[in-house]
Structure 1
Amino acid sequence: MRLRARSSWRLLGGAAALCVTIAALGLGVETWIARTPMPATLAETATEVRDRNSQLLRAYPVADGIWRMAVRPDQVDAGYRAMLLRYEDKRFYDHGGVDALALLRAAAQAVWQRRVVSGGSTLTMQVARLLEDGSTGRWAGKLRQIRLALALERRLTKAQILELYLVHAPFGGNLEGVRAASYAWFGKEPSRLSPAEAALLVALPQAPEARRPDRAPKPAEMARNRVLARMAAAGVLPVEAAEAAQRARIPRQMRPFPQMAAHLADRVIAETPELARIDLTVEAGLQHRLARLVAQTVARQDARLSAAVLVADHQSGEILASVGSAGYQDDLRQGFVDMTRAARSPGSTLKPLVYGLAFDQGLAHPETMIHDGPIDIDGYAPQNFDGGYRGDLRMRRALQLSLNTPVIRVMQALGPARLMSALRRGGARPQLPGGKPGLAVALGGVGLSLHDLMQVYAGLAAGGQGPRLRVRMEASFERMPRLLSEVSAWHLTDVLRDVPPPAGAPAGVLAYKTGTSYGHRDTWAIGWDGRHVVGVWLGRADGTPVPGAFGAELAAPLLFEAFGRLGTGFAPLPPAPRSALRVATSELPLPLQRFDGGRAGGQPADAVQLAFPPDGAALMLAEDGQVTLRIKGGEAPFLVLANQKPVVTGARRRSIDLPGMERGFSTLVVVDRNGRSDQARVRITRPGE
């Protein structure tokens, strides 16, 4: 004990003597300080992924698993800062790095009490020790800290020195800095700390391992209460507030750091590893709500079932939530696999696009009659999901019932290549197992990810031409090429809004489509309102079947619940465009009343062609306001549509004048008596423009 007291006296007395000596040396000391070798003050801090409002989504530790997070003094609770300075260095803003009064007081207390009562180190000296990872107990170490503290004070501002302390101070285990400590012990940013929390964080750096709350709760509580008592005595805290804080419970375990949008964060970090902070368009509150919803949904299902959900604003292209699995760390469900990016069979979710392309080509209209019956095309004989047939019905109804044989008839008329081209134009990256697309692509015979489908559906939801989906706040708005005409996109919305919703869900507020892949491996539901598009996938990450799983029964309820979690209500679906043809089947032009383009016998070789104008042409209106079309091939009579409205019917000549055309972009379609069609999108101008 005497040796310890003698050692303390020597150390502190020597430090005090050094202070007096330094003060007496005058100008020579300045040269000594100026020549001080400086350690690095820019330490590596955690890479952070934040949401659109700067809320932390996920953080990544630095080397050796150390949690050290960037923070500025103004980002830390003012009450904590007041306690820290009062407890550790009350003359921080007055001294030049070394507080001679504090050192002399500490030395006198050590001699009188025969033990170290207070250390006498300033915050600047503590920063010097932290930067060099040095000790405090030896004379050489103390001398080095004093010299470095004096040098720091001459090269940095007080705010910068305080920031270094807030970033580097030890708080137990692998925690460095007040921000990491606040997350680990209280699960929140240090901007708002209670008096009890602030006092604990003031006390911990003095003995971070001996006072770790999870391992030594009693010493931690005693140290915290000593800080509170001193703050009350100094008038920093009201006595009542200090007494109440002393009764607060000490945290008994470290909390996990935020891990929201984990798959998405991993991906953007891998893409830009050089960035220390990445701001995403994701909204943290929505992300959290949907992650909980997904976890609750699969908890009631198969133990290996996983799920994924994407939410986007189809007007801005911003992805607002991305849940890649039912549990990032759930090994049984292979939660580490990001199912928003995994290529799977989309089932029936491509059927709306097939019909939309047929509408655009002038092959059909939602009220066009089509036959649902057995079909065999060169040995390909698909059946409906339930094995039954409905006979003649409107295309509207065929799509709502998600029947297979009608859509294959339409696909045969369009050609699979046209669907593949539309998918790529819409921003998807389809994967074909066999290389060449066949008719089966209309029923899901192609690999697409949930993100791919969301990109395509964003185009449908935004009137046929939507934005490219983006997840970074700094990414600029980019509009995709047009996928469908505005009229065709609206027809799909009008058809799919009448699909019956799941039990208990509101009707008519969403346009949505479900899908189930072959063998019940994947179930899908994708829908949109006037502002948002939401996509849902459920299945097993390893691709094995989920017996009895159907999109309408499993994915659709999750889709509607996800929309409910948006907290914004359902945005109204768009009204019909002025050019939309809204008539009964009997009022359609004759070639559109019944679809015959997909007969198994094939089409005549002499297909109709729009010889003039070519696709993409810019046309100037004639003086009489007419545009002339020239038709090659096909069989009369011909039907001509401009923006899906019939403008000429029963034409037998191959040179046709279209009256009343308006300036701007128009889609012109010619259909022959056999239902074959060709189209061109042109820009019409007036003389002088």
Structure 2
Amino acid sequence: MKIRFKRVPISPPPGEIGTTPRHNKNRWRWSKYCAFFLLAMFVIAILFDRICPLPLPDANGQGGAIVLARDGTPLRAFADASGIWRYPVTPEQVSPLYLETLLNYEDRWFYQHPGINPLALLRAFGQMLLHQHIVSGGSTLTMQVARIIDPHSRSFGGKLWQVARALQLEAHLSKREILTLYLNYAPYGGAIQGVQAASYAYLGKPANRLSHAEAALLTVLPQSPSRWRPDRDAARAQTARDKVLQRMGDLQIWSKAQVDDARIEAVSARRLTPPLKAALLAERLYEAAPGQRNIATTIDNEMQSAMEARVAAYLTHLPDRTSAAMLIVDNSNLDTLVYVGSGAFADEARLGHVDMVRAWRSPGSTLKPFLYGLALDDGLIDSESLLLDAPQSFGDYRPGNFSATFNGPIGAAEALRLSLNVPAVDLLDRVGPARFVARLGNAGLNIKLPAGAEPNLSIILGGGAVRLEDLVGAYAALNRNGIAAHPRLRPQDPLIERNVLSEGAAWIVRAMLEANPRPGYAPGTFDLTTRPRVAWKTGTSYGFRDAWALGTTRRYTIGVWIGRPDGTPLPGQYGAVTALPLLFQAIDSLPRNTAALLPDVPPASVSSADICWPLGLVFDAAAPELCHRKFTAWVLNGVIPPTLPEREANIWSSGFISFRADAKTGLRLSADCHHAQEKITQIARWPALAYPWLSRAQRQQASLPALASDCAADALDGSNSLRIEGVTPNAAIARAPGSDKPAMLSLRAIGANTRVIWLINGRLEGETLGNKAFEHVFPTPGAQTITAMTASGLYTQIEIQVLR
């Protein structure tokens, strides 16, 4: 009998299950396979990363930039090199509502997955097999970014490439960096990329101020930007938006009330136009910082819009090709609130691309307030010092006034307000042109002179070039205690301050200019309780090429320039009639505060005093005969300067004269002549050039009494006289019988051997040398005053009547 043995498997000891040699061999084999596979995948990933590096753009944008107002509103956008409009943002600069919608609608597991969501991919693959077409892509936000930065076909191979790029992105970037790329590069239709550009384009607001409905709209648009653009089909866009709102409600991210309210909000079609405000400022800052993507400015958006519209409307009433510039700054910190560089940026006829805020132009008379301020600081004048607006020569330079008329003796404040040229040139000659230019340049108001030219007297009448922004910074000093500063264009710009005048001089000059009434108003005829006090000055350059108006209130300083950028003249257009109305339109439209309406208390260095003409000294009640005209003047540091000395030695010297006279007859006694009863008499004499403009009583009051008959002549007597020949005093003249030509006279000044200046009714009409003839036509009937005067002060004057 054969015995069979049954093979019974022997169970391994506890703890050694599956550790038979065969099992160990299989396990080891699979471990090697897995390790090899993982190593191979790692090597492949490394090689893929090296061979196919990520084509990463700048996470904050590339090439383009946006210039923003102080409240974040876009002023102007610059497309990148490819013409794409993209305004870079970070997740912190986007509305939390948008981020909440985006992550819950597009990728709920964004912060958990490694770049791909396997469950979503399997679901998408199953739907594709079931429906034989792609139902959903299963893409994560990371995968969408991968497709944006490296576009591919919508095939199976393309999807694999997208997966590889998504894993590569996760390996190199943080979740925040990936999200930032999506925010800035997601497609929103046409040349618009990124949520910020889309928000401005479709909604007209930055992406940090979105409502629930707007957040939902901007979330869904990248899925089909061409079909759902609200500017093309608002109804379709609203349907897509409502789908997102429904999802947010189903997920209970937003309450039913929030979703229902959001549905009510309509999607409106907007015309896609890039913002274009403060265009030349934006271009200036963009060129100065080419690598900067978000450029913040100090511009007030609403104020800028209003002033651009105002300037454009104002120019419609001016000649063709006229442009304009306007700059408004806040006096407290010199923030530029309005920057209008040209009348119309896109207008080729007006050369709208030329920034006239920083163009060098002749300033006309706009520098005069600083000259008067320096004269105050130098102790040369007070606010009512006697100045002479009469024909004068300064070497070969013979300035005249814009109106060609002269006013004779005039106070400093009135001379500044009337912008008279001769008194200003006289003051500059005493202050010194080189010193004046250096003082202004040190304060930031640079004066550009022609090549090789040195500072001269013509500077005060526009014989140089300045920039509007420098003028505005200097005029602000009148409301900043004499401290000028350069206008700040960006919040980070430093405030560069320099003294141009002392606090007291700045206050006096401002008071002098504030007393100037608005055009069309007499002093005190408009309500100062509703309109701010304005210290204003105009200027016109030679040949009507530049019209200026500068004004400063307690809160703002405003500068206006009008002209043609190519420098061609605008006859008849000058500061007071062309630029000044626009200045006051701007001032009256600015926000106001109570402080701007009330008079300002003078600083401790400023006081008031009663002064007298012609001496310019303080009124002395003990000698009232020396005070021909009394004024209340603002004086600086208690200094009351006498009337400026005359330039030429002549017999009619001004000032105080004391002499002996006969007590009974009042006749003057010469040095070696004595009478029994004598008295000391004193008179105040006017400057010689002032006499043609004085009344008969004023001349008599300032005249020396006749010399006693028994006294020899002295140096106080005039040694020569002047008379007009060619017509008799009080004569009546008329045109020749049967002639249509007006009456004409040929006149000579007898007694002169130097230059003779001829004035008709105070208006300069010509010059002659010695007794050469002066011919003049009298087209207007009526009384005419003819004056002949020399530089030494000799003068003669007659009146005639011109008949019709």
TM-score, normalisation: structure 1: 0.76
Distance in 2 (CA, whole Å) between partners of 1:573 and 1:462 is: 15
Distance in 2 (CA, whole Å) between partners of 1:25 and 1:230 is: 41
Q: Is structure 2 residue 470 aligned with structure 1 residue 452?
A: yes
Offset at residue 408 of structure 1 (A): 2.3
Hey, what does 1:595 align to over in structure 2? Answer: 644
User: Aligned partner of 2:604: which letter?
Assistant: R
Q: Is structure 2 residue 135 aligned with structure 1 residue 117?
A: yes
Hey, what does 2:54 align to over in structure 1? Answer: 39
Distance in 2 (CA, whole Å) between partners of 1:415 and 1:596 is: 16
Hey, what does 2:104 align to over in structure 1? Answer: 86
After superposition, residues 248-287 of structure 1 pair within 5 angstroms as 250-287=267-304
Contact 2:54-2:165 within 8 A present in 1 as well:
no
Hey, what does 1:582 align to over in structure 2? Answer: 608
Offset at residue 297 of structure 1 (A): 2.6
User: Aligned partner of 1:255: which letter?
Assistant: L
After superposition, residues 515-594 of structure 1 pair within 5 angstroms as 515-569=539-593, 571=596, 574-586=600-612, 588-589=616-617, 592-594=641-643
After superposition, residues 196-215 of structure 1 pair within 5 angstroms as 196-215=213-232
After superposition, residues 641-680 of structure 1 pair within 5 angstroms as none
Offset at residue 160 of structure 1 (A): 2.8
User: Aligned partner of 1:584: which letter?
Assistant: D
Greater displacement, 311-320 / 449-458: 311-320
Offset at residue 324 of structure 1 (A): 1.0
Offset at residue 537 of structure 1 (A): 1.3
CA distance 1:157–1:314, shift in 2 (3 Å): same
Offset at residue 299 of structure 1 (A): 3.6
Contact 1:211-1:220 within 8 A present in 2 as well:
yes
CA distance 1:105–1:382, shift in 2 (3 Å): same
Q: Is structure 2 residue 150 aligned with structure 1 residue 132?
A: yes
Hey, what does 1:323 align to over in structure 2? Answer: 340
Q: Is structure 2 residue 511 aligned with structure 1 residue 494?
A: yes
Contact 1:494-1:511 within 8 A present in 2 as well:
yes
Greater displacement, 155-164 / 335-344: 155-164
After superposition, residues 239-638 of structure 1 pair within 5 angstroms as 250-433=267-450, 435-480=453-498, 482-502=499-519, 506=528, 509-569=533-593, 571=596, 574-586=600-612, 588-589=616-617, 592-597=641-646
**Helix, strand or coil: the match of 1:268?**
helix
CA distance 1:208–1:561, shift in 2 (3 Å): same
Hey, what does 1:679 align to over in structure 2? Answer: none
**Helix, strand or coil: the match of 1:141?**
helix
**Helix, strand or coil: the match of 2:536?**
strand
Contact 1:347-1:443 within 8 A present in 2 as well:
yes
Contact 1:585-1:593 within 8 A present in 2 as well:
no
Offset at residue 40 of structure 1 (A): 4.2
After superposition, residues 142-157 of structure 1 pair within 5 angstroms as 142-157=159-174
**Helix, strand or coil: the match of 2:533?**
coil
Instruction: Provide, for residues 143-196 of structure 1, a one-character-per-residue CA deviation record: whole Å limited to 9, x for no partner.
Output: 122122233334434333222211111111111111111112222111223444
**Helix, strand or coil: the match of 1:134?**
coil
Instruction: Provide, for residues 58-104 of structure 1, a one-character-per-residue CA deviation record: whole Å limited to 9, x for no partner.
Output: 33222211122222223323333333333322333343322222222
**Helix, strand or coil: the match of 2:547?**
strand
Q: Any stretches of 5+ residues in structure 2 without a counterpart?
A: 1-33, 521-525, 619-639, 654-804
Contact 2:470-2:486 within 8 A present in 1 as well:
no
CA distance 1:27–1:122, shift in 2 (3 Å): farther
Distance in 2 (CA, whole Å) between partners of 1:106 and 1:377 is: 94
Q: Percent identity?
A: 39
Contact 2:68-2:296 within 8 A present in 1 as well:
yes
Distance in 2 (CA, whole Å) between partners of 1:566 and 1:119 is: 56
Offset at residue 129 of structure 1 (A): 1.4
Offset at residue 573 of structure 1 (A): 6.3
Greater displacement, 529-538 / 171-180: 529-538
User: Aligned partner of 2:113: which letter?
Assistant: H
Distance in 2 (CA, whole Å) between partners of 1:149 and 1:581 is: 78
Distance in 2 (CA, whole Å) between partners of 1:140 and 1:284 is: 50
Hey, what does 2:3 align to over in structure 1? Answer: none
CA distance 1:295–1:117, shift in 2 (3 Å): same
Instruction: Provide, for residues 426-481 of structure 1, a one-character-per-residue CA deviation record: whole Å limited to 9, x for no partner.
Output: 2122222372343222122221111121233233442333334433333333332x
Hey, which of these two has a bigger chunk of helix by percent?
1
Greater displacement, 524-533 / 584-593: 584-593
Q: Any stretches of 5+ residues in structure 1 without a counterpart?
A: 1-21, 605-689
CA distance 1:573–1:478, shift in 2 (3 Å): farther
Report the aligned-residue RMSD.
Answer: 3.3
CA distance 1:128–1:318, shift in 2 (3 Å): same
Contact 2:443-2:485 within 8 A present in 1 as well:
no
Instruction: Provide, for residues 259-305 of structure 1, a one-character-per-residue CA deviation record: whole Å limited to 9, x for no partner.
Output: 33222222223233233343333333433333233233324444433
Greater displacement, 377-386 / 394-403: 377-386
Distance in 2 (CA, whole Å) between partners of 1:52 and 1:598 is: 55
Contact 1:329-1:336 within 8 A present in 2 as well:
yes
Distance in 2 (CA, whole Å) between partners of 1:210 and 1:36 is: 36
**Helix, strand or coil: the match of 2:122?**
helix
**Helix, strand or coil: the match of 2:483?**
coil
Offset at residue 205 of structure 1 (A): 1.7
**Helix, strand or coil: the match of 1:525?**
strand
CA distance 1:156–1:377, shift in 2 (3 Å): closer
Contact 2:114-2:170 within 8 A present in 1 as well:
yes
Instruction: Report how many residues are paired.
Output: 579
**Helix, strand or coil: the match of 1:146?**
helix
Distance in 1 (CA, whole Å) between partners of 2:296 and 2:244 is: 37
Distance in 1 (CA, whole Å) between partners of 2:165 and 2:209 is: 33
User: Aligned partner of 1:375: which letter?
Assistant: Q
Contact 1:497-1:508 within 8 A present in 2 as well:
no
Contact 2:88-2:293 within 8 A present in 1 as well:
no
Distance in 1 (CA, whole Å) between partners of 2:562 and 2:320 is: 13
Higher relative contact order (CA 8 A, sep 6+): 1
CA distance 1:505–1:420, shift in 2 (3 Å): farther
Instruction: Provide, for residues 119-159 of structure 1, a one-character-per-residue CA deviation record: whole Å limited to 9, x for no partner.
Output: 21121111111122233x12222112212223333443433
Distance in 1 (CA, whole Å) between partners of 2:108 and 2:589 is: 49
Greater Cα radius of gyration, structure 1 or 2: 2
Contact 1:382-1:404 within 8 A present in 2 as well:
yes
**Helix, strand or coil: the match of 2:326?**
strand
Contact 1:186-1:255 within 8 A present in 2 as well:
no
Contact 1:69-1:167 within 8 A present in 2 as well:
yes
Contact 2:504-2:606 within 8 A present in 1 as well:
yes
CA distance 1:273–1:75, shift in 2 (3 Å): closer
User: Aligned partner of 2:609: which letter?
Assistant: V
User: Aligned partner of 1:75: which letter?
Assistant: Q
Contact 1:512-1:525 within 8 A present in 2 as well:
yes
Offset at residue 208 of structure 1 (A): 2.5
User: Aligned partner of 2:330: which letter?
Assistant: D
Distance in 1 (CA, whole Å) between partners of 2:582 and 2:409 is: 33
Distance in 2 (CA, whole Å) between partners of 1:495 and 1:144 is: 78
